[in-house]
Chain A
Amino acid sequence: MQPPAKCDLARTDPKPGGGGGWLSWRRLRALCWKETLQIFRDPSSVLIAFFMPLLMLFIFGYGINLDFSRLRIGVWVEDGGAEAAGLVAALTGSPWLEVHGYDSRAAMERALVDSQIRGFVVIPGDFSRKLQHAGETAPVQVVADGSEPNIAQFVRSTVSGVWQNWQAQRAADRGVELKREIALEPRVWFNPSAESRNFIIPGSITVIMTVIGALLTSLVVAREWERGTMEALLASPVTRAELLLSKILPYYGLGMISLLLCVAVAHWVLRVPFRGTITALWVVGSFFLLSVLGIGLAISTGMRNQFNAAQAALNAAFLPAVMLSGFIYEISSMPVFLRGVTHLIPARYFVTSMQTIFQAGAVWKLLWPDIGMLACAAAGFIGLTAKLTKRRME
């Protein structure tokens, strides 16, 4: 198994001092080994470390899709003219719309209330007549379901897109060229197909790492305090540094394996382009993992009770990672106060780095500032844990 190898990582920083010093390799290795056995013995930690990442990636890959493929809308035509029929045909023919017809306008409105359709188009009775009169403007009414703001926006833009094409086509049929003076040419950089999955999945890995780093460790260490085994350990010759490292290293290893698993699945199964390097991933991932491990350990050392630690980790680490990290909800759209708060959340820096590594590549110029912040956070939280442990020992 890997654990002894993982402990070797710590050897890169050897300190003289012998068996009675602040760090003994023999003791540290034994503690790491014990911790690792404990992880693999409990089915729930294996569930969280290996099953949960796959489940989450799968959910973010298939379930969280912000790109509308087919909108259900209703159409109500009060006009029997050919022009109206032409517009209906254009709506029905659009690959982005699924058009439903109704027997009465009331039935269509009820369908909107019941969320069976997301909007409807009404073509008024004098539509064809007005259209043929040069001086008059023929209106098309569109009603969207405002209780779903995002969907309502897409109803608006999709229907007006179809309507614009129909107008251009109609003009072309009459030999008139309907010229727009400005032709906007959108180019999407980094993610040319503009698939939401390509930025959501790299960001969602942040949430997965937070669950492993903060939630799992907070429970595990709190349990040791709750059951009194921590006191037993503290009474032994084990030093504070050994204790901390023995909690950090095995979970660091677990988190890293999980990170690689996530990136592999994202790239080969979910087909998200990966333009970065493993080195960049390792550097950024390590600092982020250390900072969330620090949060988890600080919470559990401070709380010493599983129920409270779990609740605290959920509220202090997991929810901010989902809500305030910017992986799905844009930080720049938040009010100034909240934007300030997001700077205190390590997940924020990891999300931007992951999106850069995946979509732009290992652009160190963009990564360094994030790495610096993550390193500060890691040092801060681990230092806090060390301080809390010391107080507990006295």
Chain B
Amino acid sequence: MIFLSRIQSLVRKEFQTLLSTKSGKMLLIMPVILQTALFPFAATLEVKNASLAVYNEDSGRPSVEMMQRIAASGAFTRIIPLWSAAAVEDAIGTREALLAVHIPADFSRKITAGETSPVQVILDGRRSNSAQIAFSYLQTVLDGFLKDRAAAAGRAVPSEIVVRNWFVPNLEYTHFILPSLVAIITTIGSLIVTALSVAREREQGTFEQLLVSPLSPEMIMIGKAVPAVAVGFFQATLILIAAVFIYDVPFRGSLVLLYGGMFFYALALCGVGLFISSVSKTQQQAFLGAFVFMVPAILLSGYTAPVENMPLWLQHLTWVNPVRHFVEIVKGVFLKDASFGRVLTLVWPLVVIGSVNLTLAALMFRRKAA
């Protein structure tokens, strides 16, 4: 009982330091609101508002029909007509257009005669990913155009391909981003809180006082971990609510599984945060240490770029990255109604990461206490 009441008073003290100032409270909420408001619109690999430059040397009907088809498709917001090859060079060079299409003078003649006409498409390689996606939009529009021409001429296609997307039928990017954001913003919040809490005490000299108190190093660790877990749960809940009620992302899975996974994730993060804390002398070191861990962990979580595109050895290495597992848990439960078994396979790495880091941190604190 004494054990519990001692921890309780330490936890209360931690919450007081965290929430005592107005700026402290603001810093727990403002970044979450700001990021939830901006990220879904900014952090997208979707290609929207792309502009297409067109240098059409042909005036025949087929080329005009094709251009009308492209304009009507809505794949490109702006179509820039150009009159020379030099203008094409300029439009791509100055980033005015992402793609440029060059239709040769004999285009209409050739395709009316049933021959194949080449159409050159120039992609801005400085933005090769977006350009390739925009190119595939163009290709889809042209496929439709050719299919209709074939149908009008009475030629049937022998086979066709029908694509359906499960979970998010229209491939809305916000449905992908918001669940990932639950994981990422929580990481920033709770990691910095744990990493800095011990370092601040050490810099201000109050850590020695804690060590000479009747609290054991493990109790101090629990006292530091509880507020961080609470901050994580609080911020995650905020984003979850925003995702479901503001962004209309359907929540398909079980809340119990999500919060269960979150608990183990928060523990793993606390382990990392306390470990960083235990080896740093100042707040600056703790903050930069947390930063050096956090940035790679978030970048390699599969949010920015899929894990399966990484070289194999790096894919294996990401196993020790807690963010990667939690991003999978949130996305799985949120969008795909992941089963208990699936969540379990993602939680046990978190348990391993958490235990290793907590043990290391405890050893470091014991050494300092001795």
List residues of A whose CB falls within 8 A of some B CB.
Answer: 42-45, 47-48, 51-52, 55-56, 59-60, 62-72, 112-115, 118, 131, 134-153, 156-157, 159-160, 163, 167, 179-192, 194-196, 198-199, 211, 215-216, 219-220, 223, 305-308, 310-311, 314-315, 319, 323-324, 328-330, 332-335, 338, 352, 355-356, 359-360, 363, 366
Q: Once bound together, how far apart are the Cα atoms of A305 and B188, in whole Å?
A: 19
Contact of A181 among B111, B124, B288 (CB under 8 A): B111
Closest to B301 in A: A63
- Binary interface profile of B, 59-95, with partner A (CB < 8 Å = 1, else 0)? 0000000100000000000000000000000001111
In the bound complex, do residue B167 and residue A180 qualify as a contact, i.e. CB atoms below 8 Å apart?
no
Contact of B125 among A185, A194, A329 (CB under 8 A): A194
In the bound complex, do residue A315 and residue B34 qualify as a contact, i.e. CB atoms below 8 Å apart?
yes
Q: Once bound together, how far apart are the Cα atoms of A211 and B335, in whole Å?
A: 34
Q: Is B348 an interface residue (CB 8 A)?
A: no
In the bound complex, do residue A182 and residue B291 qualify as a contact, i.e. CB atoms below 8 Å apart?
no
In the bound complex, do residue B342 and residue A195 qualify as a contact, i.e. CB atoms below 8 Å apart?
no
In the bound complex, do residue B159 and residue A139 qualify as a contact, i.e. CB atoms below 8 Å apart?
yes
Indicate the member of A71, A152, A363 with the most B CB atoms within 10 Å: A152
In the bound complex, do residue A180 and residue B146 qualify as a contact, i.e. CB atoms below 8 Å apart?
yes
Q: Once bound together, how far apart are the Cα atoms of A393 and B167, in whole Å?
A: 59
In the bound complex, do residue A137 and residue B171 qualify as a contact, i.e. CB atoms below 8 Å apart?
no
**Could you list 30 examples of A-B contacts with CB < 8 Å?**
A42-B285, A47-B288, A55-B292, A60-B299, A62-B314, A64-B304, A66-B45, A113-B339, A137-B160, A138-B159, A138-B160, A145-B166, A149-B171, A150-B45, A150-B306, A180-B146, A184-B119, A187-B120, A187-B121, A191-B128, A196-B129, A215-B291, A220-B284, A328-B304, A329-B42, A330-B47, A332-B48, A332-B98, A333-B46, A334-B44
Q: Once bound together, how far apart are the Cα atoms of A56 and B285, in whole Å?
A: 19
Contact of A148 among B23, B282, B306 (CB under 8 A): B306
Q: Which residues of the partner chain B approach A196 to less than 8 Å between Cβ atoms? A: 128-129
In the bound complex, do residue A329 and residue B43 qualify as a contact, i.e. CB atoms below 8 Å apart?
yes
Decide: A194 near B111, CB < 8 A? Known: A315-B31, A329-B45: no
Tell me the minimal C-beta distance from A251 to chain B in angstroms: 14
In the bound complex, do residue A149 and residue B46 qualify as a contact, i.e. CB atoms below 8 Å apart?
yes
Q: Which residues of the partner chain B approach A334 to less than 8 Å between Cβ atoms? A: 41-42, 44, 48
Q: Once bound together, how far apart are the Cα atoms of A306 and B131, in whole Å?
A: 42
In the bound complex, do residue B116 and residue A144 qualify as a contact, i.e. CB atoms below 8 Å apart?
no
In the bound complex, do residue B126 and residue A360 qualify as a contact, i.e. CB atoms below 8 Å apart?
yes
In the bound complex, do residue A184 and residue B142 qualify as a contact, i.e. CB atoms below 8 Å apart?
yes
Tell me the minimal C-beta distance from B347 to chain A in angstroms: 14
Contact of A146 among B49, B165, B306 (CB under 8 A): B165
In the bound complex, do residue B146 and residue A142 qualify as a contact, i.e. CB atoms below 8 Å apart?
no
Q: Is B351 an interface residue (CB 8 A)?
A: no
Q: Which residues of the partner chain B approach A307 to less than 8 Å between Cβ atoms? A: 196, 200, 283, 287
In the bound complex, do residue B305 and residue A149 qualify as a contact, i.e. CB atoms below 8 Å apart?
no
In the bound complex, do residue B130 and residue A333 qualify as a contact, i.e. CB atoms below 8 Å apart?
yes
Decide: A159 near B161, CB < 8 A? Known: A181-B149, A189-B125: yes
Q: Once bound together, how far apart are the Cα atoms of A356 and B127, in whole Å?
A: 11
Closest to A58 in B: B296
Q: Is B206 an interface residue (CB 8 A)?
A: no
Closest to B150 in A: A181
Q: Once bound together, how far apart are the Cα atoms of A160 and B161, in whole Å?
A: 7
Decide: A47 near B142, CB < 8 A? Known: A137-B158, A147-B336: no
Decide: A65 near B309, CB < 8 A? Known: A137-B158, A182-B146, A334-B42: yes
Q: Which residues of the partner chain B approach A330 to less than 8 Å between Cβ atoms? A: 45, 47, 127, 130
In the bound complex, do residue A335 and residue B31 qualify as a contact, i.e. CB atoms below 8 Å apart?
no
In the bound complex, do residue A147 and residue B335 qualify as a contact, i.e. CB atoms below 8 Å apart?
yes
Contact of A185 among B120, B142, B291 (CB under 8 A): B120
In the bound complex, do residue B164 and residue A48 qualify as a contact, i.e. CB atoms below 8 Å apart?
no
Q: Which residues of the partner chain B approach A215 to less than 8 Å between Cβ atoms? A: 288, 291
Q: Is B162 an interface residue (CB 8 A)?
A: yes
Q: Which residues of the partner chain B approach A112 to less than 8 Å between Cβ atoms? A: 166
Indicate the member of B169, B171, B339 with the most A CB atoms within 10 Å: B171
In the bound complex, do residue B133 and residue A141 qualify as a contact, i.e. CB atoms below 8 Å apart?
no
In the bound complex, do residue B126 and residue A147 qualify as a contact, i.e. CB atoms below 8 Å apart?
no
Contact of A184 among B139, B160, B335 (CB under 8 A): B139
Tell me the minimal C-beta distance from B164 to chain A in angstroms: 5
Q: Which residues of the partner chain B approach A216 to less than 8 Å between Cβ atoms? A: 288
- Binary interface profile of B, 145-178, with partner A (CB < 8 Å = 1, else 0)? 1100100000011111111111111111101100
Closest 10 CB pairs of A and B: A191-B125, A146-B165, A146-B168, A149-B171, A190-B125, A65-B309, A44-B285, A194-B128, A333-B48, A188-B125
Contact of B126 among A60, A67, A199 (CB under 8 A): A199
Contact of B118 among A138, A145, A185 (CB under 8 A): A185
Q: Once bound together, how far apart are the Cα atoms of A64 and B304, in whole Å?
A: 7
Q: Once bound together, how far apart are the Cα atoms of A123 and B367, in whole Å?
A: 64
Contact of A140 among B93, B138, B159, B314 (CB under 8 A): B159
Closest to A98 in B: B308
Q: Once bound together, how far apart are the Cα atoms of A329 and B163, in whole Å?
A: 26
Tell me the minimal C-beta distance from B294 to chain A in angstroms: 10
Closest to B132 in A: A194
Contact of B159 among A52, A156, A167 (CB under 8 A): A167
Q: Once bound together, how far apart are the Cα atoms of A352 and B124, in whole Å?
A: 13
In the bound complex, do residue A332 and residue B306 qualify as a contact, i.e. CB atoms below 8 Å apart?
no
In the bound complex, do residue A59 and residue B159 qualify as a contact, i.e. CB atoms below 8 Å apart?
no
In the bound complex, do residue B161 and residue A163 qualify as a contact, i.e. CB atoms below 8 Å apart?
yes
Q: Is B219 an interface residue (CB 8 A)?
A: no
Q: Which residues of the partner chain B approach A314 to less than 8 Å between Cβ atoms? A: 31, 188, 291
Contact of B288 among A48, A55, A137 (CB under 8 A): A48
